Amino acid sequence: MASFLQIADDEKGHELELFCVPKHYENDLERVIIPHGLIKDRTERLARDIIRDMGGHHIVALCVLKGGYKFFADLLDFIQVLNQNCDKSVPLTVDFIRLKSYCNDESTNSVKVIGGDELSSLTGKNVLIVEDIVETGRTMKTLLALLEECNPKMVKVVSLLVKRTPRSCGYRPDYTGFEVPDEFLVGYALDYNEYFRDLNHICVLTEEAKEKYKV
Protein backbone atom coordinates (compact mmCIF):
# COMPACT_ATOMS: atom_id res chain seq x y z
CA MET A 1 0.00 0.00 0.00
CA ALA A 2 1.36 3.41 -0.96
CA SER A 3 2.14 5.77 1.91
CA PHE A 4 0.28 9.03 2.47
CA LEU A 5 -0.07 11.75 5.06
CA GLN A 6 -3.36 11.38 6.94
CA ILE A 7 -5.35 14.44 8.02
CA ALA A 8 -7.52 13.28 10.94
CA ASP A 9 -11.31 13.81 11.06
CA ASP A 10 -10.92 15.98 14.15
CA GLU A 11 -8.06 18.02 12.68
CA LYS A 12 -8.61 21.60 13.81
CA GLY A 13 -6.45 23.06 11.04
CA HIS A 14 -5.02 26.57 11.30
CA GLU A 15 -6.54 30.00 11.80
CA LEU A 16 -6.82 32.02 8.59
CA GLU A 17 -5.05 34.95 10.29
CA LEU A 18 -1.82 32.93 10.37
CA PHE A 19 -1.60 32.83 6.56
CA CYS A 20 -1.88 35.06 3.52
CA VAL A 21 -5.44 34.54 2.27
CA PRO A 22 -7.01 36.73 -0.45
CA LYS A 23 -9.22 39.33 1.22
CA HIS A 24 -12.17 38.48 -1.04
CA TYR A 25 -12.30 34.97 0.48
CA GLU A 26 -11.72 35.78 4.16
CA ASN A 27 -15.39 35.31 5.14
CA ASP A 28 -15.87 32.20 2.99
CA LEU A 29 -13.36 29.89 4.68
CA GLU A 30 -13.46 28.12 8.04
CA ARG A 31 -9.77 27.29 8.35
CA VAL A 32 -6.60 26.30 6.52
CA ILE A 33 -6.36 22.50 6.60
CA ILE A 34 -3.20 22.01 4.46
CA PRO A 35 -0.81 24.99 4.15
CA HIS A 36 0.86 25.64 0.80
CA GLY A 37 4.34 24.81 2.09
CA LEU A 38 3.23 21.36 3.27
CA ILE A 39 1.60 20.70 -0.12
CA LYS A 40 4.87 21.56 -1.87
CA ASP A 41 6.99 19.37 0.43
CA ARG A 42 4.66 16.40 -0.01
CA THR A 43 4.59 16.93 -3.79
CA GLU A 44 8.39 16.82 -3.89
CA ARG A 45 8.32 13.46 -2.09
CA LEU A 46 5.72 12.12 -4.57
CA ALA A 47 8.02 13.19 -7.43
CA ARG A 48 10.86 11.18 -5.83
CA ASP A 49 8.61 8.11 -5.46
CA ILE A 50 7.48 8.34 -9.09
CA ILE A 51 11.05 8.61 -10.38
CA ARG A 52 12.07 5.67 -8.17
CA ASP A 53 9.32 3.49 -9.64
CA MET A 54 9.09 4.77 -13.21
CA GLY A 55 12.59 6.08 -13.91
CA GLY A 56 13.96 4.96 -17.25
CA HIS A 57 10.54 4.80 -18.92
CA HIS A 58 9.15 7.46 -21.22
CA ILE A 59 6.07 8.77 -19.39
CA VAL A 60 3.06 10.68 -20.69
CA ALA A 61 1.85 12.79 -17.76
CA LEU A 62 -1.90 13.24 -18.19
CA CYS A 63 -3.26 16.22 -16.25
CA VAL A 64 -6.90 16.03 -15.18
CA LEU A 65 -8.25 19.58 -15.57
CA LYS A 66 -9.17 21.91 -14.16
CA GLY A 67 -8.46 21.10 -10.53
CA GLY A 68 -5.20 19.26 -11.18
CA TYR A 69 -3.32 22.03 -12.94
CA LYS A 70 -1.38 23.47 -9.98
CA PHE A 71 -0.45 20.07 -8.57
CA PHE A 72 0.52 18.94 -12.09
CA ALA A 73 2.76 21.97 -12.66
CA ASP A 74 4.47 21.66 -9.27
CA LEU A 75 4.92 17.88 -9.58
CA LEU A 76 6.51 18.23 -13.02
CA ASP A 77 8.79 21.01 -11.75
CA PHE A 78 10.06 18.69 -9.00
CA ILE A 79 10.49 15.80 -11.47
CA GLN A 80 12.45 18.13 -13.77
CA VAL A 81 14.82 19.08 -10.92
CA LEU A 82 15.27 15.41 -9.98
CA ASN A 83 15.91 14.52 -13.63
CA GLN A 84 18.84 16.94 -13.59
CA ASN A 85 20.29 15.73 -10.29
CA CYS A 86 19.57 11.99 -9.94
CA ASP A 87 21.01 8.82 -11.47
CA LYS A 88 17.50 7.85 -12.59
CA SER A 89 15.50 10.18 -14.81
CA VAL A 90 12.08 10.17 -16.49
CA PRO A 91 11.62 11.43 -20.07
CA LEU A 92 8.27 13.27 -19.93
CA THR A 93 5.66 14.49 -22.36
CA VAL A 94 2.38 16.02 -21.25
CA ASP A 95 -1.28 15.81 -22.21
CA PHE A 96 -4.53 17.10 -20.75
CA ILE A 97 -8.07 15.86 -20.19
CA ARG A 98 -11.04 17.46 -18.50
CA LEU A 99 -13.58 15.56 -16.40
CA LYS A 100 -16.74 17.02 -14.94
CA SER A 101 -18.77 15.24 -12.27
CA TYR A 102 -19.85 17.98 -9.82
CA CYS A 103 -22.84 20.25 -9.44
CA ASN A 104 -22.34 22.67 -6.55
CA ASP A 105 -20.90 20.50 -3.74
CA GLU A 106 -22.54 17.23 -4.85
CA SER A 107 -20.82 14.59 -6.94
CA THR A 108 -23.15 13.46 -9.75
CA ASN A 109 -23.40 9.91 -11.03
CA SER A 110 -22.49 10.94 -14.57
CA VAL A 111 -18.93 11.76 -15.61
CA LYS A 112 -18.46 14.08 -18.56
CA VAL A 113 -15.15 13.63 -20.39
CA ILE A 114 -13.88 16.56 -22.44
CA GLY A 115 -10.92 15.76 -24.67
CA GLY A 116 -11.46 12.00 -24.46
CA ASP A 117 -11.26 11.66 -28.24
CA GLU A 118 -7.50 12.30 -27.94
CA LEU A 119 -6.89 9.31 -25.68
CA SER A 120 -6.07 7.07 -28.66
CA SER A 121 -2.64 8.76 -28.79
CA LEU A 122 -1.79 6.97 -25.52
CA THR A 123 -1.76 3.50 -27.12
CA GLY A 124 1.39 1.64 -26.06
CA LYS A 125 2.51 4.48 -23.76
CA ASN A 126 3.34 4.60 -20.05
CA VAL A 127 0.73 6.98 -18.61
CA LEU A 128 0.85 8.87 -15.32
CA ILE A 129 -2.59 10.35 -14.52
CA VAL A 130 -2.28 13.43 -12.30
CA GLU A 131 -5.46 14.22 -10.34
CA ASP A 132 -6.27 16.76 -7.63
CA ILE A 133 -8.68 14.69 -5.52
CA VAL A 134 -10.23 11.22 -5.48
CA GLU A 135 -13.57 11.16 -3.65
CA THR A 136 -15.98 8.35 -4.55
CA GLY A 137 -13.44 6.96 -7.03
CA ARG A 138 -16.10 6.54 -9.73
CA THR A 139 -14.68 9.34 -11.89
CA MET A 140 -11.22 7.79 -11.93
CA LYS A 141 -12.58 4.30 -12.60
CA THR A 142 -14.49 5.75 -15.58
CA LEU A 143 -11.32 7.37 -16.93
CA LEU A 144 -9.27 4.20 -16.39
CA ALA A 145 -11.88 2.16 -18.28
CA LEU A 146 -11.71 4.64 -21.17
CA LEU A 147 -7.92 4.46 -21.16
CA GLU A 148 -7.94 0.68 -21.11
CA GLU A 149 -9.74 0.69 -24.47
CA CYS A 150 -6.67 2.48 -25.93
CA ASN A 151 -4.26 -0.24 -24.73
CA PRO A 152 -1.61 1.82 -22.93
CA LYS A 153 1.53 -0.06 -21.86
CA MET A 154 1.19 1.00 -18.20
CA VAL A 155 -1.05 3.35 -16.21
CA LYS A 156 -0.28 4.83 -12.78
CA VAL A 157 -2.39 7.40 -10.92
CA VAL A 158 -1.13 10.09 -8.55
CA SER A 159 -3.69 12.15 -6.62
CA LEU A 160 -2.84 14.99 -4.27
CA LEU A 161 -5.85 14.18 -2.07
CA VAL A 162 -7.98 11.13 -1.31
CA LYS A 163 -11.17 11.81 0.63
CA ARG A 164 -12.20 9.47 3.45
CA THR A 165 -15.88 9.00 2.67
CA PRO A 166 -18.55 6.27 3.00
CA ARG A 167 -19.44 7.06 -0.62
CA SER A 168 -16.12 5.64 -1.82
CA CYS A 169 -16.24 2.69 -4.20
CA GLY A 170 -12.93 1.50 -2.70
CA TYR A 171 -10.63 2.76 -5.44
CA ARG A 172 -7.16 3.96 -4.31
CA PRO A 173 -4.57 5.67 -6.54
CA ASP A 174 -1.00 4.38 -6.83
CA TYR A 175 0.39 7.53 -5.19
CA THR A 176 -1.43 9.75 -2.68
CA GLY A 177 -0.36 13.04 -1.13
CA PHE A 178 -2.87 13.36 1.71
CA GLU A 179 -5.89 11.43 2.96
CA VAL A 180 -8.43 14.05 4.06
CA PRO A 181 -11.73 14.14 6.00
CA ASP A 182 -15.12 14.13 4.28
CA GLU A 183 -15.39 17.92 4.03
CA PHE A 184 -15.67 20.20 1.02
CA LEU A 185 -12.16 21.52 0.37
CA VAL A 186 -11.07 24.39 -1.86
CA GLY A 187 -7.84 26.07 -2.85
CA TYR A 188 -4.65 25.10 -4.69
CA ALA A 189 -6.82 24.88 -7.85
CA LEU A 190 -9.66 22.92 -6.16
CA ASP A 191 -12.78 24.94 -6.85
CA TYR A 192 -16.37 25.49 -5.86
CA ASN A 193 -18.22 26.48 -9.06
CA GLU A 194 -14.93 27.92 -10.44
CA TYR A 195 -14.19 30.04 -7.34
CA PHE A 196 -11.22 29.52 -4.97
CA ARG A 197 -8.75 28.22 -7.56
CA ASP A 198 -6.74 31.40 -6.84
CA LEU A 199 -6.03 30.34 -3.24
CA ASN A 200 -2.63 28.84 -2.33
CA HIS A 201 -3.67 26.81 0.72
CA ILE A 202 -6.24 24.02 0.91
CA CYS A 203 -9.09 25.24 3.11
CA VAL A 204 -12.48 24.14 4.42
CA LEU A 205 -15.41 26.03 2.88
CA THR A 206 -18.12 27.53 5.12
CA GLU A 207 -21.77 26.55 4.67
CA GLU A 208 -22.55 30.23 3.96
CA ALA A 209 -20.06 30.26 1.09
CA LYS A 210 -21.71 27.20 -0.47
CA GLU A 211 -24.94 29.20 -0.68
CA LYS A 212 -23.18 32.41 -1.76
CA TYR A 213 -21.47 30.80 -4.79
CA LYS A 214 -24.19 28.30 -5.67
CA VAL A 215 -25.25 28.05 -9.32
- Give all domains of the chain, ordered by start, each with its CATH number: 5-212 (3.40.50.2020)
State the Cα–Cα distance between residues 49 and 143, nearest whole angstrom: 23
pLDDT at position 115 over 90: no
State the Cα–Cα distance between residues 201 and 53, nearest whole angstrom: 29
pLDDT at position 63 over 70: yes
Query: Which tens digits make up the pLDDT trace of 134-161?
Result: 999 988 998 899 889 889 999 999 999 9
> Which pLDDT score is estimated for 91?
87
pLDDT at position 104 over 90: no
Question: What is the C-alpha end-to-end distance of the chain, expressed in Å?
Answer: 39
pLDDT at position 118 over 80: no
CB 71 within 8 A of CB 132: yes
**What's the gap between Cα 87 and its chain centre?**
28
Mean pLDDT of 33-42: 96
- Of the chain, the percentage scoring pLDDT greater than 90 comes to 61
> Which pLDDT score is estimated for 107?
55
Instruction: Record the pTM.
Output: 0.90
| Alpha helix segments (H runs only) across 55-177 | 69-85, 138-148
Q: Which residue has the higher pLDDT, 22 or 102?
A: 22
